[in-house]
Amino acid sequence: MTSDKKQWDYSQLRKYDLNFEQIPRVYYKDSKIDELLALNRPVVITGSNIVKPACERWNLEFLEDHLGNSDHTVYVSRNHVFKYYDEKKILSKSNPKGVKFKPPTRIVEMKVYEFMQKIRDWRHGDDRIYLQQSLNASVGQAIAEDFVRFDWQYVNGKQDKHNWGPLTSNLLFVAMEGNVTPCHYDEQQNFFAQVYGYKRCILFPPNQFECLYPHPIFHPHDRQSMVDFEKPDYNKFPKFKQAKGFETVLGPGDVLYIPIYWWHHVESLLSGGPTITINFWFKGGPTNIEYPLNDHQKVSIMRNIEKMLVEVLQDPKEVGPLLRTMVLGRFTENINN
């Protein structure tokens, strides 16, 4: 029996100058879940068996014993922030028009015992680490057994009912307390299943694009917000003041639905110990073109326009000036007269 008593307190949440509404928590059998999924609205699914076999026995020792002997992808950061970047978009001989870029984290391959040893030995001031690895055939038998016992009937049922595309991957996240994945969006539907420890998630809908200032699409930080939530530069990013987030804290067994194109920031609670999460990423469904288009379809259109302009102009630096020429004074003035 899980108790309703809170296993964390507000002092464990990082402080941001933002307003939040709570994401609804809904029992997994409740039909309200389907209403929210159909609308692409976030919800915390409670009481489900989606990753129950993992919740029953996965912790760091268990993963150390059973994750297998292959190399795992570990991000290393000087601080608590792990901002994702696309290595393919970094300036290189093969990408001469790419932008100059200094990666904020390093990617290191290591065995699970090396990773766990580093966590055990960690002292304040040391580099932080975050394992992010897709679950694949290299995992040991115990983990494979738990994986097949996930509630696939429930997960596949939601996938079918809401016309999502195929499951693309299950990423395993093993974080140190206090680690932060800063605000970004993904182009997939996500069931984000908490297995061990507590994570705070802050979400924003796709129509807050202007408040969150994503990097340009050709930048290695494509899909990531340029705003540093801990020290927002309101001169550069004034509309961030108007951002209004949806927040929740996930504990073991909770599954957060992160709708496609929704922004999300994820933090393992301060002084909360390590965390383990598994996500379920699904392709979006076939797009139903109905007008008016929805907000995430508009983001998708903007992405396509940006992509096309980079391609035809052959220089990312020309994209902004061209768009400015096209829009300023023509689409920014009252065009009714």
Q: Which stretch binds ligand AKG (CB under 6 A): 100-108, 184-192, 229-237, 305-313?
A: 184-192
186 binds Fe ion (CB under 5 A): yes
Find the part of the chain contacting ligand AKG (CB under 6 A) among 12-20, 42-50, 98-106, 186-194: 186-194
- When CB distances to ligand AKG are compared, the closest residue is 181
Range in contact with ligand AKG (rule: CB under 6 A) among 29-37, 185-193, 210-218, 297-305: 185-193
Binding mask 110-149 for Fe ion (x = CB under 5 A): ----------------------------------------
The per-residue b/e assignment along 145-156, b for 16 or more CB within 10 angstroms, e otherwise, is: ebbeebbeebbe
Q: Who contacts 91 (Cβ-Cβ below 8 Å, separation ≥6)?
A: 98, 99, 100, 101
- Of the residues 189, 190, 224, 300, which one makes contact with ligand AKG according to CB under 6 A: 190
Closest contact distance (angstroms) between CB of 311 and ligand AKG is 27
Q: Which long-range contacts link 298-303 to residues 24+ away (Cβ below 8 Å)? A: 298/206, 299/185, 299/206, 299/209, 299/261, 300/187, 300/261, 302/209, 303/217
183 belongs to the binding site for ligand AKG (CB under 6 A):
no
Q: Which does 66 bind (CB under 5 to 8 A by kind): ligand AKG, Fe ion, none?
A: none
Task: Between 114 and 186, name the residue whose CB sits nearer to Fe ion.
Answer: 186
C-beta pairs of 232-239 under 8 Å, 24+ apart in sequence? 232/17, 237/213, 239/210, 239/211, 239/213
Specify the DSSP element, H or E, that contains 167: strand 167-169
Q: Does 181 bind ligand AKG (CB under 6 A)?
A: yes
The count of other CB atoms within 10 Å of the CB of residue 8 is: 16
Look at residues 89, 39, 54, 60 and name the one whose alpha carbon lies nearest to residue 306: 89
Burial class (CB in 10 A: 0-12, 13-18, 19+), 162: middle
Task: Based on the shown chain and the rule CB under 6 A, indicate whether residue 297 belongs to the binding site for ligand AKG.
Answer: no
Given 191, 192, 204, 257, the residue binding ligand AKG (CB under 6 A): 192
- Separation of alpha carbons 311 and 3, rounded Å: 55
| Binding letters toward ligand AKG, positions 240-269, x by CB under 6 A | ------------------------x-x---
Q: Is 176 in the site for ligand AKG (CB under 6 A)?
A: no
Compute the C-alpha angle 217/222/225, nearest 5°: 120
Residue 279 interacts with ligand AKG (CB under 6 A): yes or no:
yes
Q: Is 187 in the site for Fe ion (CB under 5 A)?
A: no
**Binding-site partner at residue 65 among ligand AKG, Fe ion, none, CB < 5 to 8 Å by type:** none
* Rounded-to-integer distance, Cα 335 and Cα 323, Å: 17
Residues shown for the chain: 337
Residue numbers of the site for ligand AKG (CB under 6 A)?
A: 173, 181, 186, 190, 192, 264, 266, 277, 279
Residue numbers of the site for Fe ion (CB under 5 A)?
A: 186
